[in-house]
Chain A
Amino acid sequence: MTDHDQPTGFDAERRRTLGCLAGWTGAAIVWTVAGGVPRALAASSSGGGAAAASNAFTFVQISDTHIGFHKDANTDIVGGFRRAAGDINALAQRPALVVHTGDVSHLSKPEEFGQAKELLQEIRVDRVHTVPGEHDALDDGLAGYLKNFDHDGRNRAWYSFDQSGVHFVGLSNVLNFKLGTMTSLGDEQLAWLKQDLAHVSHSTPVVVLAHIPLWTVYAPWGWGTADADQALALLRPYGSVTVLNGHIHQVLQKVEGNIALHTAMSLAYPLPTPGQEGIGEPGPVKVPAGELGKLLGTRQLTVVRGKHELALVDTPIDHA
């Protein structure tokens, strides 16, 4: 693991990567990790992302693709996905990787996972890392998901990897549903996380991927993780922690000390704001034609050495 406190920063390749941030117009949030702190840069309609330092690398977050969904709220999931993929492919600087924060499929059907895998291959990027959503864990648990998205060959849904001096952790919080409570990570996974982080220096920027938010966004709808505090306690000693979540199909954020938590837009359909008046339940929201593309999107992130926060750019698939 590279020590992000080193003043030398990233290499020339990363410098080149940074240059292309300015050309970002995609329907994604662009994460920038610089100095160990990811920041999200809001992509503008003119395509000008926030200026990224020359010692940074970028990656892209997509979420909640729900491949297989064909209902009124969005009858062209695949078309929307391809627009997002086109935007990512048009980035002036190719992202180091794409992360997908869950609900890859809508009903965990083999054909949905298969189609999702093919669609993800249309994004010209070296690596795509996923974590499962509860829609990926129907009927047979994560068996179908792991047939297609077993990232480290261990047949389990949590894993870690290092990229450009950043430690990435993928978690699963979609299997432990109990009556009347929020979901949880579970003791086995928390023990693994503790063991995994034991080998990571506190100066290393950490990016955590999990589908359901690791903070309580809205308990009456189950928008939270009951034992998230135990995971965050393990992450608190780190100088830069960025938690990327999906599930709620909208951008929200919370900062706790060095830990920044962000939810992302979906590429499938919008959901109401937490407890939104007049709606009452967290089902797909039907919006007038022309509005949908403004509510779906992607995120580009840039990691800049020496800065605690990643630069994020959230970009709707409808953009100038």
Chain B
Amino acid sequence: MTTCPIHAAASRRALTCLLAGVLVALASGAGAVETPTIAVEKFAFAPKEISVLPGTKVTWINHDETPHAISAADKGFVSKAMDTDDRFEYTFTTEGDFAYFCTLHPFMTGIVHVHK
């Protein structure tokens, strides 16, 4: 999506495409946004909120000395316990707003917005 053509006569479709790309870029903090990464650090998710396109694989990496585990609020996706440097990946195939939390520390919350 980041390769959307941009020109003066951009169609509505192209503009939408561009906005989505920008959102993904902002969320990941990088230009290439195929697999945004969320840091699990100091008992928080960073970024806490991201927006991605359907089909995007999101990766969480635990940087804490304490284990954490990811679970959707509705348990739609659940990771195993992640020790230091462990990763969890999940591909969001459908649109929606997916709130999630750490099942060991439920005050740690985040949300993934999945929209075209």
A contact residues vs B (CB 8 Å cutoff): 71-73, 106-108, 134-135, 138-139, 177-183, 219-222, 280-284
The answer to whether B42 and A135 have CB atoms under 8 Å apart is no
Cα distance A75–B69 when bound, in Å?
A: 23
Q: Known: A138-B67, A138-B81, A139-B81. Is A180-B43 also a contact (CB below 8 A)?
A: no
* Residues of B close to A106: CB separation below 8 A: 67
The answer to whether A283 and B81 have CB atoms under 8 Å apart is no
A250 to chain B, nearest CB (A): 16
Q: Known: A71-B84, A139-B80, A281-B42. Is A180-B106 also a contact (CB below 8 A)?
A: yes
B contact residues vs A (CB 8 Å cutoff): 42-44, 64-67, 69, 73, 80-81, 83-84, 99-101, 103-107, 109
The answer to whether A71 and B67 have CB atoms under 8 Å apart is no
The answer to whether B103 and A180 have CB atoms under 8 Å apart is no
- Within 8 Å by CB of A138, from B69, B73, B107, B109, lies B69
If A179-B101, A221-B43 are given as contacts, then 16 extra A-B residue pairs at C-beta distance below 8 Å, sorted by A number, are A134-B104, A135-B67, A138-B67, A138-B81, A139-B69, A177-B103, A177-B106, A178-B101, A179-B106, A180-B109, A182-B106, A220-B107, A222-B105, A280-B43, A282-B43, A283-B66
Cα distance A71–B66 when bound, in Å?
A: 9
Would you list 9 pairs from A and B whose C-beta atoms are within 8 A, ordered by A residue? A73-B65, A107-B67, A138-B67, A220-B107, A281-B44, A282-B105, A283-B64, A283-B65, A284-B65
- Within 8 Å by CB of B65, from A71, A108, A134, A139, lies A71
B65 to chain A, nearest CB (A): 5
- Most B CB within 10 A of own CB, among A139, A179, A221: A179
Chief secondary structure at chain A's binding surface:
loop
Cα distance A247–B106 when bound, in Å?
A: 15
Chief secondary structure at chain B's binding surface:
loop
Number of A-B contacts (CB under 8 A): 63
Q: Known: A107-B83, A222-B106, A281-B44. Is A180-B101 also a contact (CB below 8 A)?
A: yes
B105 to chain A, nearest CB (A): 6
* Residues of B close to A183: CB separation below 8 A: 106
Cα distance A106–B69 when bound, in Å?
A: 13
A68 to chain B, nearest CB (A): 9
Closest-by-CB residue of A relative to B64 is A283
- Within 8 Å by CB of B107, from A72, A221, A284, lies A221
- Within 8 Å by CB of A222, from B69, B73, B107, lies B107
* Residues of B close to A181: CB separation below 8 A: 106
* Residues of B close to A107: CB separation below 8 A: 67, 81, 83
* Residues of A close to B104: CB separation below 8 A: 134-135, 138, 177
* Residues of A close to B80: CB separation below 8 A: 138-139
A277 to chain B, nearest CB (A): 15
Closest-by-CB residue of A relative to B101 is A179
